[in-house]
Amino acid sequence: MKKKSFDTIKLGLFVLSALTLLIIALYVLGKNKTFFGNRFELKSQFRDVNGLLTGNNVRFSGIDVGSVLGIKILNDTVIEVTMNLNRNMKGFIRSNSIASIGTDGLIGNRVVNIEPAGGDFPFVNGGETLPSKEEVRTDEMLRTLYNTNKNVAKISEEVLNTMKLINNSSELTSLLNDKTLSQNLRISLQNLRNTTENASLMMKNAVSTLKLASEGKGALATVLTDTTLSADLKLAVGQIRTLENSADRLVNDLNQMVTSVEKDINQGNGSVNALLRDSIMANQMRASIKNVEKGTAAFAQDMEAAKSNFLFRGYFKKQEKEAAKAKKTAEMKAKQ
Amino acid sequence: MLILPNDLKSFIRETGEIFRFILRFFREGFRPRYEVAEFIRQCYVIGYKSLPLVALTAFIIGIVLTMQLRPTMVSYGVDVQIPAMVGVAIVREIGPILTALIFAGKIGSSIGAELGSMKVTEQIDAMEVSGTNPFKYLVVTRTLAAMLMLPVLVVLADGIALFGSFLGVNIYESLTFNLFFKKVFDNLIYIDVIPAFIKTFFFGFAVGIIGCFKGYYSEKGTEGVGLSANSSVVVSSVLIFIIDLVAVQIAELFQH
């Protein structure tokens, strides 16, 4: 109880300071926003915040200028991120600056990057919604890389197979090892060059010839410009026409001849008719045919005699049997 | 009677006696007459006089914790999260437990020794004869003072430790005071602060009641005074950890 008042003041200060501290702490926790007064809010909307948490840093052109205050789902495709920024950034961030979600390093914390987009837009005043941009995501990057790797592996495998085929191909090897090939190729090329040279020379000549012709010089010009040539041609055509007329006449003569022969035959005049209608000649021919018939009958008799001869009998009997057999089979087939 | 080792038997007996002592505290503490003047004096002695020691340890632990965390955090590329991590560690656990242990060492032993010497010199008996309730005058005031002053000390210690941490961060990089505390408080929620604050009342109560109990029942003359001072520190320290264990489990229940 000694120094009581003095003790009480110290004790009061002690307790009050702790109480103040506690109250401030609880107040800050409750508000958790602009307690320190030198901050302002900006918003941005994303499709995917990619693991962003409240408290993650916000960067403007790479400088830490604040932190993420809240992440709210507006609907299934829009997520609103509220950022708390230093008040002194108000004079730097324009309202068209683009917010994107990135990573601090390759595997570090998520950060919101605000990048100036240029242009003479007004500076932010707090509460604006900045346009957003989807950043390249590491997992997407790795997925693409995985596909690329797979393709590269496939391609290298195919290249390897091709190389193997090339290495194992004896034709290709012999072709590659053939030393005469290059020589032949060189000769061929030489020939080709000569040919083209000749061709160009020819063309040159042709050009000069045509030039001469157009100037009225040379043989071609003579052909093209000579007036006597056309007269000759005209004459030749006239002669051809005369020849045609005489041919016509010849055909007419032949017609007349055939008509007169026909007439002779019908009227019994002339040698042709004699050949066709002479009865004596016909009798003579009939007698000749009779003689031939007699001759063949005698030959048939001789053949019969030959059949009965023991030398040929076997052969003829065999022939008869075969004939009988053939007949029988023909009957059978007919019955069926 | 159960056949138990003497140590265990005495442990159980002492537990029962402490429980009875606690019940007596509540019975007598809420009944007039109140020893207000003595209570305020005890608050000054127990609370205010402990502040320098608590402040120093808190300040040092703030710097040390930050510097110890830093290499690991940097290697993971999350050094910007040091304030957040230190904030959670200090507010949730290190502030309360460290302050309570220092408090137990300083106040527990002093109460134990003071009451023990009063007991062995029969001053307590003399009080009873003179008509003053020694339990009210000695035990209730000290226990209440300890119970109310420890939270105050813890709040101040948290603030000082965070300031130490701010200095620790600024050894390596330049971070404004505002941004540091912004980062700390951005990561704290009520469930971090409130249970941590509530449990300090129990810590303070444990330190006060054990110190008083050990002193009040001190025996064997001057030797007993030292023994009660010693055992009050040991028992209250262990109790602080047990209460902490219970508190974290209760807080966990509320968190989910």
Residue A104 tokens read as 């601090």
Rg (CA), chain A: 62
Mean pLDDT score, B101-127? 90
Mutate to test the interface with B, among A5, A16, A27, A29 (most CBs of B within 10 A): A29
Q: What percent of chain B has pLDDT over 70?
A: 98
Tell me, what DSSP letter sits at residue A247?
H
What confidence tens digit (pLDDT) does each residue in B3-27 have? Answer: 677 888 888 888 999 999 999 999 8
What confidence tens digit (pLDDT) does each residue in A80-117 have? Answer: 999 888 888 888 888 888 998 888 776 677 888 898 88
Query: What's residue B60's pLDDT?
Result: 95
Mutate to test the interface with A, among B35, B79, B80 (most CBs of A within 10 A): B80
Q: Cα B11 to the chain's mean position, in Å? A: 23
Which residues are registered as beta bridge partners of A71? A81
Q: In Å, how far are A199, B33, B43, B236 from B209, measured between CA atoms?
A: 124, 20, 15, 9
Mean pLDDT score, A273-279? 67
Return d(Cα A108, Cα B74) in angstroms, integer.
Answer: 11
> Please, what sign has the CA dihedral across residues B214, B216, B217, B218?
positive
Cis peptide before B33 (omega within 30 of 0): yes
> Please, which residues have CB within 8 angstroms of residue B182's CB and are 6 or more apart in sequence?
A36, A67, A84
Tell which of A135, A161, A190 closes a domain.
A135
- Which of A29, A38, A105 lies nearest to residue B190, judging by beta carbons? A29
Which residue is it, tokens 């110890």?
B68
- Which of B37, B80, B193 lies nearest to residue A1, judging by beta carbons? B37
Query: What's residue B106's pLDDT?
Result: 93
What confidence tens digit (pLDDT) does each residue in B144-193 have? Answer: 999 999 999 999 999 999 999 999 998 888 888 888 888 888 778 788 88
Checking if the pLDDT of A269 tops 80, the result is: no
Q: What is the 3-state secondary structure (H, E, C) of A170-237?
A: HHHHHHHHCHHHHHHHHHHHHHHHHHHHHHHHHHHHHHHHHHHHHHCCHHHHHHHHCHHHHHHHHHHH
Q: In Å, how far are A15, B110, B116, B134 from B214, measured between CA atoms?
A: 28, 11, 7, 15
Return d(Cα B153, Cα B157) in angstroms, integer.
Answer: 6
Please calculate the CA angle A154-A158-A161 and round it to the nearest 5 degrees.
Answer: 140
Which H or E run contains A310?
helix A310-335
Residue A115 tokens read as 């990048």
Q: What percent of chain A has pLDDT over 90?
A: 12
Checking if the pLDDT of A1 tops 70, the result is: no
Return d(Cα B97, Cα B196) in angstroms, integer.
Answer: 9
Q: Do A29 and B43 touch (CB under 8 A)?
A: no
Nearest one of B209, B210, B218, B213 to B119, comparing CA atoms:
B218
Domain housing A256: 226-282
- Which of B44, B156, B186 lies nearest to residue A67, judging by beta carbons? B186
Checking if the pLDDT of A3 tops 70, the result is: no
> Please, which residues have CB within 8 angstroms of residue A95's CB and are 6 or more apart in sequence?
A121, A122, A123, A124, A128, A130
Distance, in angstroms, between A43 CA and closest chain B CA? 18
The separation between the first and the last C-alpha atoms of chain A, rounded to the nearest angstrom, is 154
Return d(Cα A114, Cα A111) in angstroms, integer.
Answer: 10
> Please, what sign has the CA dihedral across residues B213, B219, B223, B227?
negative
The order of strands in the sheet holding A132-133 is: A129-130, A39-46, A78-86, A63-75, A57-60, A110-115, A98-103, A132-133
Residues of B with Cβ-Cβ distance to A4 under 8 angstroms: 37, 40-41
Most trustworthy range by pLDDT among A96-110, A265-279, A320-334, B88-102? B88-102
Checking if the pLDDT of A219 tops 80, the result is: no
Query: Among all residues of chain B, which has the CA nearest to that of A57?
Result: B80
Query: What's residue B135's pLDDT?
Result: 87
What average pLDDT does the structure give for chain B?
89
- Residue B200 near residue A22, CB atoms below 8 Å: no
What average pLDDT does the structure give for chain A?
82
Question: CB contact, 8 Å: B183 with chain A?
Answer: yes
What confidence tens digit (pLDDT) does each residue in A144-197 have? Answer: 999 999 999 999 999 999 998 888 888 877 877 777 888 888 899 999 999 999
Torsion angles phi and psi, residue A45, rounded to 5: -115, 135
- Residue A102 near residue A110, CB atoms below 8 Å: yes
- Residue B33 near residue B136, CB atoms below 8 Å: yes
Tell which of A135, A165, A182 closes a domain.
A135
Query: What's residue A270's pLDDT?
Result: 64
Most trustworthy range by pLDDT among A96-105, B28-37, B66-75, B219-228? B66-75
Mean pLDDT score, B50-79? 91
- Give the confidence band of A272 by pLDDT, cuts at 50, 70, 90: low
Question: CB contact, 8 Å: A28 with chain B?
Answer: yes
A304 occurs within a structural domain: no
Query: What's residue A277's pLDDT?
Result: 66
Between A242-256, B106-120, B171-185, B204-218, the lowest mean confidence (pLDDT) is in B171-185
Checking if the pLDDT of B200 tops 90, the result is: yes
Q: Do B77 and A18 touch (CB under 8 A)?
A: no
Tell me, what DSSP letter sits at residue A135?
P
Q: A90, exposed or middle or buried, with CB in 10 Å at 0-12, 13-18, 19+?
A: middle
Question: CB contact, 8 Å: A32 with chain B?
Answer: yes
Distance, in angstroms, between B81 CA and closest chain A CA? 9
Residue A271 tokens read as 């040698």
Which of the two residues, A26 and B93, has the higher pLDDT score? B93
Tell me, what DSSP letter sits at residue A136?
P
Q: How many domains does chain A have?
A: 2
Checking if the pLDDT of A35 tops 50, the result is: no
Return d(Cα A228, Cα A234) in angstroms, integer.
Answer: 10
CB-CB neighbours of B76 under 10 Å: 13
Distance, in angstroms, between A108 CA and closest chain B CA? 6
The pTM of this model reads 0.52
Mean pLDDT score, A212-232? 75
A218 occurs within a structural domain: no
- Residue B196 near residue B94, CB atoms below 8 Å: no
Residue A169 tokens read as 């191909």
Return d(Cα A150, Cα A148) in angstroms, integer.
Answer: 5
Return d(Cα B147, Cα B206) in angstroms, integer.
Answer: 8
A241 occurs within a structural domain: yes
Which ipTM score applies to this complex?
0.73
A219 occurs within a structural domain: no
Return d(Cα B50, Cα B149) in angstroms, integer.
Answer: 9
CB-CB neighbours of B9 under 10 Å: 13
Residues of B with Cβ-Cβ distance to A36 under 8 angstroms: 178, 181-182
Dihedral (C-alpha) A215, A218, A223, A224: value to the nearest 10 degrees?
-10
A58 occurs within a structural domain: yes
Nearest one of B148, B155, B146, B143 to B96, comparing CA atoms:
B155
Nearest one of B97, B102, B101, B62 to B82, comparing CA atoms:
B62
Q: What percent of chain B has pLDDT over 90?
A: 48
Tell me, what DSSP letter sits at residue A76?
T
Query: What's residue B2's pLDDT?
Result: 58
Tell which of A91, A108, A135 closes a domain.
A135
Which residue is it, tokens 């055992």?
B231
Return d(Cα A267, Cα B40) in angstroms, integer.
Answer: 181
> Please, which residues have CB within 8 angstroms of residue B48's CB and are 6 or more apart in sequence?
A7, A10, A11, A14
